[in-house]
Structure 1
Amino acid sequence: MKNISAVSALIATLMLTGLAGCAATPQQESTGQYVDDTVITSAVKASILNEPTLKVNEINVETYKGVVQLSGFVRSEDNIATAIRLARGVSGVTAVKNDMRLK
């Protein structure tokens, strides 16, 4: 009977530890946040790809907790403004950081 209680306690401890490993911290995303950010990144890249004035290979898109960071080298200020506008228009984006530079 003692062995069953000890094994049950061990299993419960392992399960709770596993759940805590998937939780978000200020420095780390949860699994759900990571998936959401991947979807946001893909949507921003698709918006840039569908814009004829922009080149998707010039603009790098990264997302962390809903904040999109755009970086790379573009040809004009208009391209920067267009990329920012497109990123802000994607569902789930909470902010856009611009690190794009002119060529």
Structure 2
Amino acid sequence: MNRIGTYLTIIFLATAALSSVGCSSTPRQEGTGEYIDDSVVTSKVKVAILGDPMLKSAEINVETFKGVVQLSGFVSSGAAVKRAVEVTRAVAGVTSVKNDMLVK
């Protein structure tokens, strides 16, 4: 009886360990929790950009990977580029900003 309990415990722990490794992240792929966190950060950045009176541009694309936000698209001036980066950095969860925006 004691052996059966030991085997069941080992099987349970092995299954739990393999399950948690399957959901972990790699340098090129996010784990489930990170994907959800990045989706929230992306949404917050989009809301902040659309809510800024200087920007209000739907031509700015926002993508987030592990807290790094990439801004791309078109803006009307260099000042708008600078402002978009400032607004993005102020959002909670943003670790850094990669600026790929172009001035029209």
Smaller-chain TM-score bracket: 0.7 to 0.9
Do structure 1's residue 93 and structure 2's residue 87 form an aligned pair?
A: no
Deviation per CA, 1:57-101: give whole Å up to 9, x if none: 110000111111000011100110110000000111111000000
SS in 2 for 1:92: coil
Listed as ranges, the matches of 1:43-54 within 5 Å are 43-54=44-55
- Of 71-80 and 26-35, more deviation after overlay is shown by 26-35
Q: Which runs of 5+ in 1 are unaligned?
A: none
**What TM-score, normalized by structure 1, do the two folds share?**
0.83
Q: 1:27: which partner in 2?
A: 28
Cα distance in 2 for partners of 1:75, 1:56 equals 9
Q: Is the partner of 1:19 in helix, strand or coil?
A: helix
Conserved 8 A contact 1:74-1:80: yes
* Root mean square deviation, CA, Å: 2.0
Letter paired with 1:94:
T
User: Residues of 1 paired with 2:97 and 2:61: CA distance?
Assistant: 13
Report the alpha carbon displacement of residue 13 of structure 1 after superposing the two structures with TM.
4.5
> How far 1:16 sits from its partner (Å)?
3.3
What number of residue pairs does the alignment pair up?
A: 103
Aligned equivalents of 1:31 and 1:17: distance in 2?
15
Following TM superposition, by how much is the alpha carbon of 1:18 offset from its aligned partner in structure 2, in angstroms? 2.5
The normalised TM-score by structure 2 is 0.83
* Partner AA of 1:51 in structure 2: D
Aligned to 1:71: 72
Tell me if 1:17 matches 2:23: no
Counterpart-to-counterpart distance in 2, 1:56 and 1:66:
22
